[in-house]
A and B are shown apart, each in its own frame.
Chain A
Amino acid sequence: MTDPLTSYGQSRKARIDALAATSVAESGTVEEAPGLSLIASAWQRLRRNPVFLLGAFITVAFVLLALVAPWVAPHDPAVGYLLDKVRPQSNPVPGPEPGFPLGADSRGRDLLSRLIVGARQTLIVGVFATLGGFLGGLVLGTLAGAFGGWVDSLVMRIVDVMLSIPSLLLAVSISALATRPSQWTVILAIAIVQIPVFARLLRGSMLSQRSSDHVLAARALGIKQSAIVFRHMLPNALGPVIVQATLVLAVAIIDAAALSFLGLGNPDDRKPEWGQMLGQSQQYLADYPHLAFWPAACIIVVALGFTLMGESTREALDPKSRR
């Protein structure tokens, strides 16, 4: 692979030579090189952006960890190896010792292993909750943005009602409806809460596309309405929504933690999840804050990673920031 800066310099030199050699055509010169799409040119800039690189590094590390977790974790997260050291009165949470660098939780299970394996569950909750919210919002937002009129009014009033309920309260209500709380009720609750956010964003984005010059141009050209919606409006409207998705992923992980904290999370703690771990640490918070610290730190770092990546992508895709 060539160093991007040298190749940039070389292409510039070649360009100057070409310019110097002949006088330009009336329309000006067009470079010989094949075209670079919007996304490709955004990527050109992103891969030199340290903010994006940091975000991407955190995100990739997190996903990799989630994938290989069972093989990397030093112990089985469900087995209470240090259970015999737990004394409910004097020592409810065993401290670090050789082989168990972060100590164990109140049931004697290795904290480090639980954190590592927890990455996988956390990723599942984050990704599926976000995906659910995204798809729901996609359908509603497209309907509202593409048709306008009474469809728009109807969809948006429903969305407004959903938005008027505090999101956590809504998530709590939804997960309380489930007869047996599980990981999937958590995912579902968070997904539903995120639907109006996505729907509103997409709708606004679709509306601005609808009144944009290039959509007007497509109408003037006599392009079919369906093609205008799916080929011109939706792809251009999705940019900000996809970026929002990376931000929502972080929110979803935090929401999952909140639900677990309230006892509405996944009761099956053989499959640890960071939010759930944070929730379970509450009764020891005063004396053993490290139980809460580690999962919280993991959540913050991962959320930061997604947010940095999302924000820098948004910046790179913004046509105004180009050149």
Chain B
Amino acid sequence: MTTPPVDDPDVLVDVRGVKVHFPIKAGVIFDRVIGHVYAVDGVDLQIRRGETYGLVGESGCGKSTLGRAILNLEPPTEGHVVFDGTDIASLKGEELRRKRQDIQMVFQDPLSSLDPRQSVESLLVEGMKAHGLAKDAKEARPRLRELLTAVGLPVQALSKYPHEFSGGQRQRIGIARALSVNPKLIVADEPVSALDVSVQAQVINLLEDLQEQYGLTYLVVAHDLAVVRHISDRIGVMYLGAIAEEAAAVDLYARPLHPYTRALLSAVPIPDPDVEDSREQILLTGDLPSPSNPPTGCRFHTRCPWRQDTRCDDERPQLRVVAIDGVPEGHRVACHWAEQIDSGELRPHEVTPVAVGSDELPPAAVEPELMGPASVTEAL
């Protein structure tokens, strides 16, 4: 299942068979484990030096958890994350803390990821002090100026506090903080989705510029396929804890092989009425199954318009290279029928939607008749 270790010196991060399972606990005094959320369930991927790897998928697909597992902020239940020859997943304590200098993170919500009590100077100096790059703020001054210039903020920002900035400026501070310790890899978890549309482009361009300037490697985790495709060299599409398809950004759009990728691509709205009017959409029916009780076989088979009676329901497809003309080796897909679907031999069919409830238990003690008017209907 796990691919053999890669000795390619080009590979900076080698993720092998990573699983992150969260126990679901219940009990009054003593917790009992009554199940698991299979957030990440067996992922292999390699990130090469200097490239941007985009991880895309819908909420609950495990992309953010995988991003955190790579930093060992969420210790993997199983598997290895080999970073520059060291297995991050097995590190603990001080060793892990030291290693964090190499891998930094940029968060989705720029305000909540900055300590509201810290001035920008203190925010930026803290990491440098923790890794012995500077003894105090005074010594770090030239470096602080450089960082601020790099992210396009004026020097007077140093004495200010996070709440005094706009969303885009805060994200710049978050990026400067990540840069402050000279990392090799930056994991950006939804770096623009909390920002206004007009500001998103600023941050995307900034990330691109910084990559060039500092020779950084990025792992960008996002739900917005247009953003991921714009910024990434290679893309992994995740569905329910596993990678469904992996390809160069250009190839993925030009020739999606996995039915889920096709549906995802066709669902992204494009700001051009002419394109929108003529597009063919693959509308998926039903909802994402619960990651605590994933479907057997191919995880996508419950919603797949190309599902076949054999293999799909009981055999879990592995990420594989397909033998189709014009599809490069780097384009891998986890679908049993990728060739037949691509050639048109298999046609899409109707899917009866399977309603998926949420994980919560029904409120046993609630007496509906006794309750007051509803919030919406009250307004009506």
Taking beta carbons and an 8 Å cutoff, which residues of A are in contact with B? 25-28, 30-32, 34-38, 41, 157, 212-214, 216-224, 227, 232, 235-236, 319, 322
CB pair B127 A221 closer than 8 Å: yes
Other-chain contact of A27, B112, B153, B159, B160 (Cβ < 8 Å): B153
CB pair A32 B156 closer than 8 Å: yes
Other-chain contact of A221, B108, B130, B154 (Cβ < 8 Å): B130
CB pair A26 B152 closer than 8 Å: yes
CB pair B113 A216 closer than 8 Å: yes
Can you list 8 pairs linking A and B with CB atoms under 8 Å apart?
Answer: A27-B202, A38-B116, A220-B71, A221-B177, A222-B101, A222-B181, A223-B126, A236-B117
Interface residue B98 (Cβ < 8 Å from any Cβ of A): yes
> In the complex, which residue of chain B has the Cβ closest to the Cβ of A215?
B115
Query: In the complex where A37-B161, A223-B127 touch, is A236 in contact with B166 (Cβ < 8 A)?
Result: no
The 10 closest A-B pairs by CB, nearest first: A222-B100, A35-B160, A213-B113, A221-B127, A213-B112, A220-B105, A35-B159, A27-B152, A214-B115, A217-B113
> In the complex, which residue of chain A has the Cβ closest to the Cβ of B94?
A224
Interface residue B104 (Cβ < 8 Å from any Cβ of A): yes
Interface residue B157 (Cβ < 8 Å from any Cβ of A): yes
> In the complex, which residue of chain A has the Cβ closest to the Cβ of B152?
A27
CB pair B159 A222 closer than 8 Å: no
Chain A residues in 8 Å Cβ range of B115? 214, 218, 232, 236
> Within the assembled complex, what's the spacing in Å between the Cα atoms of A35 and B121?
11
CB pair B100 A224 closer than 8 Å: no
> Within the assembled complex, what's the spacing in Å between the Cα atoms of A7 and B225?
47
CB pair B156 A41 closer than 8 Å: no
Chain B residues in 8 Å Cβ range of A224? 97, 130
A19 to chain B, nearest CB (A): 13
Chain A CB count within 10 A is highest, among B103, B117, B151, B157, for B117
> In the complex, which residue of chain B has the Cβ closest to the Cβ of A323?
B163
CB pair A25 B152 closer than 8 Å: yes
Other-chain contact of B161, A38, A219, A232 (Cβ < 8 Å): A38
Taking beta carbons and an 8 Å cutoff, which residues of B are in contact with A? 29, 71, 73, 97-101, 103-105, 107-109, 111-117, 119-120, 126-127, 130-131, 151-154, 156-157, 159-161, 163-166, 168-169, 172, 174, 177, 181, 202
Chain A residues in 8 Å Cβ range of B154? 25, 30
Chain A residues in 8 Å Cβ range of B166? 28
> Within the assembled complex, what's the spacing in Å between the Cα atoms of A219 and B93?
11
> Within the assembled complex, what's the spacing in Å between the Cα atoms of A290 and B163?
52
CB pair B127 A213 closer than 8 Å: no
Chain B residues in 8 Å Cβ range of A214? 112-116
Query: In the complex where A35-B119, A217-B113 touch, is A222 in contact with B98 (Cβ < 8 A)?
Result: yes
Chain B residues in 8 Å Cβ range of A36? 160-161, 164
> Within the assembled complex, what's the spacing in Å between the Cα atoms of A26 and B99?
34
Chain A residues in 8 Å Cβ range of B126? 218, 221, 223
Chain A residues in 8 Å Cβ range of B164? 31, 35-36
CB pair A213 B116 closer than 8 Å: no
B371 to chain A, nearest CB (A): 28
CB pair A220 B161 closer than 8 Å: no
A224 to chain B, nearest CB (A): 7
Chain A residues in 8 Å Cβ range of B100? 219-222
CB pair B202 A217 closer than 8 Å: no
> Within the assembled complex, what's the spacing in Å between the Cα atoms of A235 and B115?
10
> Within the assembled complex, what's the spacing in Å between the Cα atoms of A26 and B177?
19
> Within the assembled complex, what's the spacing in Å between the Cα atoms of A47 and B309?
71
Query: In the complex where A37-B119, A223-B126 touch, is A213 in contact with B109 (Cβ < 8 A)?
Result: yes
Chain B residues in 8 Å Cβ range of A232? 115
A215 to chain B, nearest CB (A): 8
> Within the assembled complex, what's the spacing in Å between the Cα atoms of A35 and B242?
46
CB pair A217 B107 closer than 8 Å: yes
Other-chain contact of A217, B130, B159, B177 (Cβ < 8 Å): B177
> In the complex, which residue of chain B has the Cβ closest to the Cβ of A233?
B115
CB pair A30 B127 closer than 8 Å: no
CB pair B116 A236 closer than 8 Å: yes
A232 to chain B, nearest CB (A): 5
B153 to chain A, nearest CB (A): 6
A320 to chain B, nearest CB (A): 11
> Within the assembled complex, what's the spacing in Å between the Cα atoms of A92 and B163?
63
